[in-house]
Amino acid sequence: MRAASVSDYRELARRRLPNIFFEYIDGGSYAEVTLRRNVEDLEAIALRQRVMRDMTKINMSVETLGQTLQMPVGLAPVGMAGMYGRRGETQAIRAASAAGVPFCLSTVGVCSIEEVAATGTPPWFQLYMLKDRGYMRELLARAKAAGCPVLVFTVDLPLPGSRYRDIRSGFTGGSRLQQAMTQLWDGVTHPAWTWDVGINGRPHTLGSVAGAVKESRRVTDFLAWISRNFDRSVTWKELDWVRESWDGPIVVKGVLDPEDAKAAAKAGAQGLVVSNHGGRQLDGVRSSISALPRIADAVGNDLEVYMDGGVRSGLDVLKALALGAKACFVGRAWAWALGAGGESAVAKMLDVLRAELAVAMILTGCADVREAGKTLLDEA
């Protein structure tokens, strides 16, 4: 199949990836109500078609946090991306750099901060608050030394949500022997992935935290360590602690409530991501797109407001911009593309989003994404 849309990359990834890794990236928490809402609520928003306007020239670029984005899209942090393609995070950042959009490296990425930065483009770095403050301070120092321009501080994971698909697939739960046998069978039945990633994509560690988990050998061991070290005691005062080691922009990720958005601004953040962690944390909460307008109204020009969750097309991007986002971050979209065909597929997926956004802009009469507003939506 030749991919024409983000959904096509999902199907190609399903065919190529071992089941445990496809289900890990594809699934959400519990009954996956919020996962579905993220997509369905975006689909339900109607764009307002306008005609007979001179759309010879359109501008997709935006300025944010001292950077110019060639389109209002970024690659969100995705854990274990190096298990979807050989040294996957490095492939993804090369595609993002070529497209002129930011790539955010997850704390739990397979490739380390240094390996990703060695591509020539330092990533934005996503940080979880862990109990081991000493190791967190070390991570911040490494990110700063690598030239990471933005810190994305994820605040909606004081503990991981229960993801039933991972239990059913055999990725988590069960004995170590059962997990090993499941993973072995997955590898045998997906030979192309096994050669590309299983054999030639080693080491299969979480590069940025490998120094803290020296006794572990498998990705699931690292994830278990991370899970045990999430800190439930975190408050907004922790941003002061982070500031002791980080003097660049801080973006708070995982905000769904206007009061929390105001608190992020008061705590000194420069931006926030309206996000429910892709429907992977508290199931049953509202979709990101439905939370976006109230948050954008609450913080006004005090913060750069981004959104992630459910974005599957360039049309979705324009809808989010119309409701107050400066840019959208996509996670599953690029992970599926990486799993389907590596760097070239991620690059083509970004081209698809760009082409779809262009069509949406032209047919709504929006010549400049910086001027996108609610007038682009048909609210009748």
Q: What is the domain partition of the chain in residue ranges?
A: 6-366
For residue 362, count other CB atoms closer than 10 A to its CB. 15
298: confidence class by pLDDT, cuts 50, 70, 90: very high
pLDDT above 70: residue 217: no
Determine the pLDDT at residue 66. Answer: 96
Strand partners, 255: 274
Asked if 75 contacts 104 with a C-beta cutoff of 8 angstroms, the reply is yes
* Mean pLDDT (whole number) for 172-191: 81
Catalytic residue among 10, 87, 94, 277: 277
Q: What DSSP state is assigned to residue 123?
A: P
What is the per-residue burial (b if ≥16 Cβ within 10 Å, else e) of 235-268? eeebbeebeebbebbbbbbbbbebebbbbbbebe
Q: Which residue has the higher pLDDT, 147 or 218?
A: 147
CATH architecture of residue range(s) 6-366? Alpha-Beta Barrel (3.20)
216: confidence class by pLDDT, cuts 50, 70, 90: low
DSSP string, 152-187: EEE-S-SSPPP-HHHHHHTSSSS-HHHHHHHHHHHH
186: confidence class by pLDDT, cuts 50, 70, 90: confident
**Token pair of 252 as six digits:** 């708070």
* Mean pLDDT (whole number) for 356-368: 98
Strand partners, 230: 130
Please, which contacts does 190-193 make with residues 24 or more away whose CB atoms are closer than 8 Å? 190/16, 190/17, 190/18, 192/16, 193/16, 193/17, 193/18
* Mean pLDDT (whole number) for 329-356: 98
Residues 6+ apart with CB under 8 A from 177: none
pTM > 0.85: yes or no:
yes
How many whole angstroms from its chain centre is CA 314? 16
Which is nearest to 163 in space by CA: 331, 336, 32?
32
Tell me the helix, strand and coil percentages in the chain, rounded to 5.
50, 10, 40
The 10s digit of each residue's pLDDT in 97-156 is 999 999 999 999 999 999 999 999 999 999 988 888 888 999 999 999 999 999 999 999
Q: Which residue has the tokens 């045998």?
A: 188
230: confidence class by pLDDT, cuts 50, 70, 90: confident
The yes-or-no answer on residue 277 being catalytic is yes
The 10s digit of each residue's pLDDT in 243-282 is 999 999 999 999 999 999 999 999 999 999 999 999 999 9
Q: Which residue has the higher pLDDT, 178 or 334?
A: 334
DSSP string, 233-296: T--TTHHHHHHTT--S-EEEEEE-SHHHHHHHHHTT-SEEEE--GGGTSSTTSPPHHHHHHHHH
Determine the pLDDT at residue 229. Answer: 80
Strand partners, 130: 230
* Mean pLDDT (whole number) for 282-300: 97
Dihedral of the alpha carbons of 54, 327, 46, 261, in degrees to the nearest 10: -140
Q: Rounded to whole angstroms, how far apart are CA atoms 239 and 250?
A: 9
Determine the pLDDT at residue 173. Answer: 78
Which is nearest to 361 in space by CA: 64, 55, 61, 42?
55
380: confidence class by pLDDT, cuts 50, 70, 90: low
User: In the predicted model, what is the mean pLDDT of the chain?
Assistant: 94
Which is nearest to 110 in space by CA: 132, 135, 89?
89
Asked if 285 contacts 34 with a C-beta cutoff of 8 angstroms, the reply is yes
SS3 28: coil
Q: What DSSP state is assigned to residue 46?
A: P
